[in-house]
Amino acid sequence: MSQSELCVRSDGDGMESLPRDIPVPVRRREPKFVPYEPYKAAVTPLREMDTRCNRTRLAALEIPFPLHHPPGSGEEPPLLAVVREVPEGTPPSPSSQGAPLEQRLQEAHQCTQDLQEQLRVQVEVNRELKKLLVASVGEDLEARVHFLSEDKAQLAADVRAYAQRLSQGREEIDRLAIHADVWRSKFLAASLLVDELANCKARLMRQCDDFQEALQWMASEHKQLEANLTATCRLLAKLQGEVPRGDAAPCDVLQLSAQAQQAARSLCHQVAARGGSANLRLGPSPVVCATPAESFAQRTDCAYETLKRSFTSSSAHSALESSISSSSELVAHHGSTIACCRHCSGHLETI
């Protein structure tokens, strides 16, 4: 597509221009109405103005002008004709109106003197009033200054009291902060001690379980040993020919072993009396080993001894012993110190 084809506009796109033979309507500006303009082409004003006062006329006045004739010579001085503009409608002022003007001038002078007298009196009155006002204002200012001084002194006393209370409050806050730190350190030490004691308790509980299991195991072995000894004693008694009648007397394992040994010895003597003592030589003593229950009990006892030594050397045991020993003294001695675990430093004061 060429550049000329791109520039061609189609009908109806809104950008086409009107033909030259069609007139284009042009809006005409209407003239503005100006009521009055202060220049030559101004419109006549809406209201009528009085032009009679603006009209003037020339009037001739004869004024005596003594240039060469002094006033005391008795001759009439020449008159000087002066032409001036006089507004129309006012009559010319004749020379016969001088007397009324002088009278009016005297009246004005008298009025001026009266006004000056009144002004002087008013000034005196104002001066006195000013003195009275200054005195009253001075008294008011003095009273106000006194009141402000008292108020300032009271405010200073209040400020000192509040400052003292503030310092006391700060001291109390510092003291409570120290107490809070002490109790916080006590709580941390107690929490550590509780943790160690809980660990010790768990180890002791495991040790107790081991001891209980060893005891149960040894009890079972003891019952087995008791049954064996009882059977052995019955067999030995049957060999001797002494069968007891009725119920046998109650006895423990040690008594049963003693009875078995006595029966065996008696049988040996009977055999020796019948056939000779050459065949009754005793063999070597057997090596007695520990039973499984006894071995387990021994291992448990060794573990308990080790745990006991660790408790003796641990700080929890010493802290517990010291706290137990000093618990009776804390009631009577409030200023004593308490020993803590290895995590604490210094002394803890009892509050």
pLDDT digits (tens, 9 = 90+) for 270-305: 777 776 555 556 667 677 777 788 888 888 888 888
User: What whole-number distance in Å separates Cα of residue 351 and Cα of residue 344?
Assistant: 18
Mean pLDDT of the chain: 72
- Neighbouring C-beta atoms of residue 299, cutoff 10 Å: 12
To which residue do tokens 């033979």 refer?
A: 21
pLDDT digits (tens, 9 = 90+) for 175-231: 999 999 999 999 999 999 899 889 888 888 888 888 888 888 888 888 888 888 888
The candidate with the shortest Cα–Cα distance to 344, out of 322, 327, 329, 325, is 322
% of the chain with per-residue pLDDT over 70:
56
Chain centroid to Cα 307, Å, comes to 51
To which residue do tokens 């040894």 refer?
A: 218
User: What whole-number distance in Å separates Cα of residue 133 and Cα of residue 128?
Assistant: 8
Strand partners, 56: 87
pLDDT digits (tens, 9 = 90+) for 22-65: 555 667 777 666 555 555 555 555 556 655 555 555 444 455 54
User: What whole-number distance in Å separates Cα of residue 236 and Cα of residue 238?
Assistant: 5
CB 264 within 8 A of CB 240: no
User: What whole-number distance in Å separates Cα of residue 157 and Cα of residue 196?
Assistant: 58
pLDDT over 90 (residue 167): yes
pLDDT digits (tens, 9 = 90+) for 7-32: 555 555 656 665 555 555 667 777 66
User: What whole-number distance in Å separates Cα of residue 150 and Cα of residue 156?
Assistant: 10
Half-sphere exposure of 343 (CA within 13 A, CB side): 12
pLDDT computed for residue 335 by the predictor: 41
Strand partners, 61: 82
